[in-house]
Every structure is written in C-alpha cells, then in structure tokens.
Structure 1
Amino acid sequence: MHLYLLFLAMAAATVLSPGPGVVMTITNALRFGLRGTIGGILGIAFGALFVAATSATSLGVLLATSVLAFTVLKFMGAAYLVYLGVRLWRAPEFKLTGEPAHEASFRKRFIEGLSLQLSNPKAIFFFLSVFPQFIDPERNYLTQFTTLVITYAFLVVIIHSIYATFSSRAKVWLTSDRGGRAIRRTSGVTLIIFGTILAAAKQ
C-alpha cells in the first residue's frame, strides 16, 4: 500500500492532536475514571468510520484520474495540517476540570462521542483531503480503503485509551496550565512537520 507508514504517522498525529475528542476523553477520565471513558472512545472511533465512508469514498476515482485534483487536495491537506498546528501552538490554555461526578452510562458516553466525531471538522477534513492521497490507483480500492479506515479507527481507540490512562494518573499535572501547554505545543509542532511532508509528497 502506497506510503502506509506515512499514513500511519500522519493519522496518529491527527488523532493525538488536542481537539474536541481528546478534551472529551481527558475530561471523562478526570470525572468518571478510566472505565467512564470507554463508551466515548468507541463512539469517536465508530464516528470516524462513518465520516470516512461518507467523505472519502467518492474521491477515489477522481484522484486516480486527475493530477490536478490530487495536487489541489494535497496542498489543501498540507495547508490544513500546518494551520491546525499553528492554531494549537497559539491557542489559549485548556481549562480541564477534575471535579468528580456520578458515573454516566456507557450508552450516553457512546452517543456523546459519536455525535462529537460526526461534527468534528478535523476528522472530516482529514478524510476529504489527506486520506485519499494514500490510495494507490493501481491496486484494489476497497481493500486499501477498508485497511486505512480500520487503521484510523484503531488508532483512535489506542491513542484515546492512552490519554485516558495517562489522565487518570496525572490529574494534577493535566489540570495545570503547564501540562496543557506542553501537550498543545508538542502536537502543534508535529502537525506542522507532517503538513510539510505531505506538501512534498508525489502521487
């Protein structure tokens, strides 16, 4: 599969970057504990599958036959990653609270995560502009599409689970300005780097 390792790295950086989903996972971990994050994480992962299916499928043939379409989407994707990185670097500190709350149901957390992902511009733009460029037009489209989408959803589960575990063990640090700033700036720099790499990629 064309540049699969690069896709893996870019997808991981996108999922890892602080956004609505990450904030929700961390907040749920601080409020409900590790078990209270499972429903939300699975909701976000399932939402990613839905967004991918509705956003990227129709672009496969276009990108395989049009150099112009590939070039335009490539630079749109690169510009978006750089923009997201700069915005993260310059954004105000996250204000995460660690106030205890009653345990919420799995169903409620799942719906919350699903709804959030379906309206998350980061995921939508990733599947519209970045994702299709890793499809090799000379190989089976459905196989590649399924593999990449499942990879992305798997990364969502793994990375958000790491966030949840880390949050429950580093509650004091995460709720501090220093902790939020460190996560935000590291993710910002990573996205800028991958945006630059994407801009230089060839079809």
Structure 2
Amino acid sequence: MDIVTVLSFLGAAIVLTLMPGPDNLFTLAQSIAKGKNAGIFTTLGLCTGLLVHITAATIGISAVIYQSAFAFTVVKYAGAAYLLYLAFKSFREKSSNFNLHNEDNLNYKSLYKKGIIMNVLNPKVSLFFLAFFPQFIHYENGNVPIQMLILGIIFLIQSLVIFSLISIFAGKVGNFLRKNNSIAKKINIIQGSLFTLIGLKIAFSQK
C-alpha cells in the first residue's frame, strides 16, 4: 500500500469522521453532560467497538450482515432501543442535582461499556467500511484482508484523536453551560434529546 493511498484514505476518513453521526454525537452528549473525561472514556469504548467492526469487515462478517436483511434489522433495532433506553434514563434524571464538577464520582467503566455497545450495535459502521474501504484497496497487490486491516487501524487512530478533541471541546462547552443554573438543570434533557435523535437516526437508517 503506497503513501499516496494512505494519505488519500486518511484525508477522506477525517472528513467523514467530522461529519455529524451517531458516534460523534454520542461523544458530544456525554462530554457536555459529564465532562471531558466522560467523553474520553466513551471514546475509548467507541474505538474498541470499531475493532469489532474492523475485524468483521476483514474476515467478511460485515458482508453477511449486509446480505441478510433480518440480521441488519435485528442489530439496527437493538442499537436504537439501547439509545432510547439511555434517553429515557436521562429524562428521568432531569430534576436531579446536577453537580458534575467533581468527575471523581463518574463510573468510567460504565461509560467505556456504553461506548462499546453503542458502536457495536450500529450496523451502519460495518456497512460503511464495506462501502468505503474497497475504494482504497489495490486488488492487484493481493492480501486484501491485510490491506483492510491496515486501513481499519488508520481509521481507528484518527477516530480516537478526533473524538478525544471533541470530548475536550464539548467538556469546555459543558463547563460554560453549567455556570448558568437554569441551563445546568436542563443538561440531562439536552443529553436525553441527543440520545433520542441518535436512536431514531439508527432506527430509520437504510442499507
């Protein structure tokens, strides 16, 4: 795989990662509501989930999901249901005391798990890999699975960097919002609304 292909892929990957989607919106919501550390641990979970999709794309499992309308639908609705469950929890906590300045009380393991589940249960990620990666594969060179794996690792690294930057930025926005008591009391509602938006986006997605 030549350097031109790698750089072209990296540029396209960065642009696509920055576009509004379930993963970066999820990171944004967690960071605004719970601080940058929450966003970073969520990012680690999301990127761990990417490893699952990268492996699936490399060995061909993603193609099976793409071919099976039933499998795609099951994974899609499971992901949407999980996001709507998180939205429900956020709305229930809308009147709770929202003292998020002390991030020591956060359950980072739980945030990491949420990131993994959120990413793994989004079938569009695997289908995206199937549609996007082949454009940068040199089939004449052979070793297609290895090329897919290399592209997957590059995609994962740039996602980790970008989502971490989003976490830091959104964490600062969250700190600013919490200075306004009226807004601070509604941060859970904002988070729940974002989760609902992401869940519906996944639920109504098409192959």
* Equivalent pair of 1:47/1:117 in contact (CA under 8 Å): no
- The answer on 1:187 being equivalent to 2:157 is no
Deviation at 1:125, TM superposition (A): 0.6
1:17 paired residue number: 29
1:116 lines up with 2:108 in the alignment: yes
Aligned to 2:6: none
What CA RMSD, in Å, does the superposition of the two structures yield over aligned residues? 3.9
Q: Please, which runs of 5 or more residues in structure 2 have no aligned partner?
A: 1-11, 138-147
- Answer yes or no: is the 8 Å Cα contact 1:85–1:188 preserved in 2: yes
Alignment of 1:132 with 2:135, yes or no, is no
Indicate conservation of the 8 Å contact 1:63/1:69, yes or no. no
Structure 1 residue 89, shift from structure 2 partner:
1.8
Change (3 A) 1:97 1:45: closer
Q: 1:73 to 1:45 in 2, by over 3 A?
A: closer
1:54-112 deviation digits (Å, cap 9, x = unpaired): x333433223113132221111112112222222122253532657xxxxxxxxx9xxx
Unaligned runs of 5+ in 1: 26-36, 100-108
Match of 1:52 in 2: 50
Corresponding pairs, count? 172
Taking structure 2 as the reference length, what is the TM-score of the superposition? 0.61
How high is the TM-score relative to the length of structure 1?
0.62
Letter of the 2:29 partner, please give it.
S
Q: Distance in 2 between matches of 1:201 and 1:43?
A: 27
> Are the aligned partners of 1:135 and 1:144 in contact in 2 as well (CA < 8 Å)?
no
Greater Rg over alpha carbons, structure: 2
1:163-182 residue CA offsets vs partner (Å, 9 max, x unmatched): 33335545533xx4x33332
Q: 1:7 to 1:83 in 2, by over 3 A?
A: farther
Partner letter of residue 132 of structure 1? S
**% identical equivalent positions:** 16
The answer to whether the 8 A contact 2:45-2:116 is kept is no
Q: Secondary structure at the match of 1:71?
A: helix
TM superposition shift of 1:145: 3.5
Going from structure 1 to structure 2, the CA distance change for 1:47 and 1:18 (only over 3 Å counts) comes to closer
CA–CA distance in structure 2, aligned partners of residues 97 and 186 of structure 1? 15
Note the C-alpha offset of 1:48. 4.5
Going from structure 1 to structure 2, the CA distance change for 1:59 and 1:94 (only over 3 Å counts) comes to farther
Matches within 5 A, 1:62-73: 62-66=61-65, 67=68, 68-73=70-75
